[in-house]
Structure formats: C-alpha cells, structure tokens
Structure 1
Amino acid sequence: MAEPLAPSQMHTYFAFTEAASLLQFAVAQQLRAEADLSYVQFEILATLGAAQRPMTMTDIADGVVYSRSGLTHQAALLEKAGLITRSPSPTDQRATVVDLTDGGRDRLDRVLPGHIEVVRDLLYGALDDDDVATLGSILVRVRDHMRSRPSRSRSVSRTSPAG
C-alpha cells in the first residue's frame, strides 16, 4: 500500500485542484458568454493563434492535452462555425492540418480581453511579482515532470466545465 500524503501535501493538492477548478469554471463562463466557445475550443483557437501557422491535429492534441477523438469532435464544431479549416497534410497522408480562418482570428480577438481580465483577476489578483515568478517556476517543473510521461493525447479524455 502506498504511503499516505503528508498533511501539507494533501492541503496543497486540494488547494491547487480547487483553485484550478474555480479558474477554469470562471474562464469557461466568460468564453461561453462572450464568444459561444467551450474552454477546449478556446484552447484550440488560442493554440493556432499563438502558433501563427497551421498545425496538425496531433500537435494540437498534445498541446491542449485532449483526446484525439474529443479534439476531432471539437474541431468539427469549429470548422462548421467557420472558425478553422481542416485539410489533408501535403507531406503526411495520415495527418490533418488545421488552420485558423479570419473568422476564427476575429472570434479569438473578441474574447481575449475578457479572458485576460478573468485570468488577471482570479489567478494573479492575490499575488505580487515575486509570487508570480515562484508559482510559474513551480508549475513549469510540475508540468515538465508530467509531460515527461508518454504523450497524453493517446490516452486522456478530458471534459471541461463547459464541454
């Protein structure tokens, strides 16, 4: 049997998961209200917007930590809404290339100010610059540790509060 978590570890775990859930819920509400996007759809659009180039579905799935089947469904909804395009890769017949349309870029531009406001208020509102640097350093180490495992897009299915 595994050794139980120390009380400080349990406290940290619950504080982290609750804070992450509260933040994701508030962000999901803002995204739905301002742009009729789910959290995952926003992640897809934001990933493409940040890349400023087409990406494969696999690269997007690994970046947003979402199952391939779930990503395919979300991409189909975004494509139907005219926010992205999907096409076969010219270099790899197994890959699908996804690109942001002008409409997708406009929707992303419309929702980003409110998104930034929610994140700034809820995540950073109680922190000073040193706290932000410390939290960032810790979370990067945790994320890198988690990502050192095999690719999650092959096995993880995640649902956000807004679907």
Structure 2
Amino acid sequence: MADLEVGTRWLDDQQQRSWRALVMGTTLLFDRLDDDLRRAFDLSLVEYEILVRLSERDGQMRMAQLADALAHSRSRVTHTVARMEKAGLVRRASSPEDGRGIVAALTEEGRALLERAAPLHVEGVREHLVDLAGDADLAALGRVMNAVSDHLVAAHPEMELR
C-alpha cells in the first residue's frame, strides 16, 4: 500500500471539504427533486429527464443518443423507457431513417405530463439551487461541471451528449 501512496496527490483540507460538499449537495438535491416528482406525478427524475430530452428533439430520439444525452447506460435507458412505454408516456419504433436503430417518441400523454410536471421541477431547482447561489457562483458551477463533462466525454468520444 505504501508504494501506491507515493505518487498520490491527496486533497488538501479545502479541496476535501469542497469535494464532500459537492457529493452531499448533489445527492440531497437529486433525491429531493426525485421525491417531489414521484409524490406529485409518480414520475422519477430520470423519467422526467427523458421526457425533457425527447421534447427538446422534436419529440423523438434514437435510444442510443438518448442514453448518451443522459450519460446513462443503454440498458438502463432501455429498461426505463420500457416502463414509460407501458405507462403510455413514450413509444418505441424502428428508425424511419434506416430501420436499424430504435427511436423513442414522446406521446401526447407524455407531453401533457411533462407540461404539468415542469413547473414543480423548475421551482425545486430554483428553491434548492439557483436561488441559493449568486449569479457568479452559479456560472462558475456551470463552467466547472462543463469542464468535468468535456474531460470525461473526451475519454469516450462515442458518446453524444446534448
């Protein structure tokens, strides 16, 4: 073990506090946003994000692109979309472009649920993040997380995050 520790650049006290604050804050924030959506609409945060991503892409996306956009495994997205399809929120079909890929499409019921859930979600994001941080801090947070995303996506160029 001692040999492994020689080259390790340990976090200093401030870096450790910041790291732990990020872990705790994001865990609590995502749990709260998820709980709010589940209680009010029986919709998970991941399901909400799928509805949002589809709505932003003219109501449909290839499943592989959807998984990449969410930074989730394809199997996780397939499982979640299957549940959503049973609930009537989305439907899956072969890609009209080449017939090989599978496209997830937003249904009218899914769009209506998104329109009802969005105000609650946005209020939660405002109350539990945006309104707690000043504009400069929020912009800095966005820059940092974009740098993290860019760095990690560069290691996996097959991902298409949008």
TM-score (norm 1): 0.87
Match of 2:44 in 1: 38
Runs of 4+ in 1 over 3 A off after TM superposition: none
Q: Which runs of 5+ in 2 are unaligned?
A: none
2:132 partner letter? A
How far, CA to CA, are the matches of 1:33 and 1:53 in structure 2? 25
1:112-123 equivalences in 2 (<5 Å): 112-123=118-129
2 CA distance for matches of 1:82 and 1:20? 30
The Cα of 1:4 is off from its aligned counterpart by 1.9
- The number of residues matched between the two structures is 153
The residue aligned with 2:20 is 14
Provide the aligned C-alpha RMSD in A. Answer: 1.6
> Over residues 81-127 of structure 1, what are the superposed CA-to-partner deviations in whole Å (9 max), with x where a residue is unaligned?
11111001133343101110110000001111010011001111221
In 2, Cα distance between the equivalents of 1:44 and 1:5?
A: 36
* Bigger Cα Rg: 2
Paired residue for 1:135?
A: 141
* Deviation of 1:134 (Å): 1.9
Relative contact order, CA 8 A, sep 6+: which one is greater? Answer: 1
The one-letter amino acid paired with 1:35 is F
| Amino acid of the structure 2 residue aligned with 1:114 | L
Unaligned runs of 5+ in 1: 154-163
Tell me which residue corresponds to 2:74.
68
Change in Cα spacing, 1:98 to 1:118, as seen in structure 2 (3 Å) is: same
Q: Which residue of 2 aligns with 1:147?
A: 153
